[in-house]
Structure 1
């Protein structure tokens, strides 16, 4: 009832796939590590290219996605950085690095409320991390400052009386208002 040829071929195929995956993993790691060396040398574009090559081998590696995010941050490509942070967090929700890098991208995109929410999540995952704590506090202070400035602007608009139309007598005894032409320009 058992087909020995099928079983032998199945085992051989499984071994072949395992070796192929192992080779892909080795290649992906080597490319990522080479990208890290370029990143440390501040050659962010080259590092990003190597990280992307690594992702071709292992597309669901959250560590490499997080590295792509950091390279985009260094290149001030905020939307791209946010995209890679989101991908990394999707794959590994407990990654603090991707979350803190997402905070930087959101802040740079002037999405302060979202940046604060993300910083709070990172702080929950790593409450002992003083850098995350400082980042969160700085964002909260900035938010409070913005709220205060908005309140001041709103109150100053409400408190400023609207100018009343001025009325002045003309040399000929007529009345000038801002909406009427000067008496000298009225045809006689």
Structure 2
């Protein structure tokens, strides 16, 4: 039987919401079906097992968090300098704020990966591929900085986003714009 890709995406989006709201322990086929508003048993027809489901959720999270082609094209029309890198970092924060469930779900997946070797392998590949994509994008777009600049900004931004989601009062007293500017300046260096 052919699977409906729109239904698969609906189930994955529901799984992301369940992970964000209930954690990995709450991620059941029944919970996904309920969140998606589909008949009981639907999710089990699409995902053979929990590892398969979690691996596909990780991929879906990254799809949802990717900037639109239009947004990237608009940004790349700007001068390729530190200010553009700063804009990209602010855009990451905006996407995280717009889809907090994705980042919370990814945190749950990362924790679950410490206990599930197959998920760890799949998630490692997804994250490593994403990081390589960002490094290549930076080089091809002729943005300032080298591989280590991109890697440093990736880890700094990931930490900042997770801190804002889990312990927002730690970051709240800080000026977010200033903090991001400092991260970019330290990663890229002075003009």
Higher relative contact order at CA 8 Å, sep ≥6: structure 1 or structure 2?
A: 2
More helix by share: 2
Query: Higher Cα Rg: structure 1 or 2?
Result: 1
TM-score by length of 1: 0.31
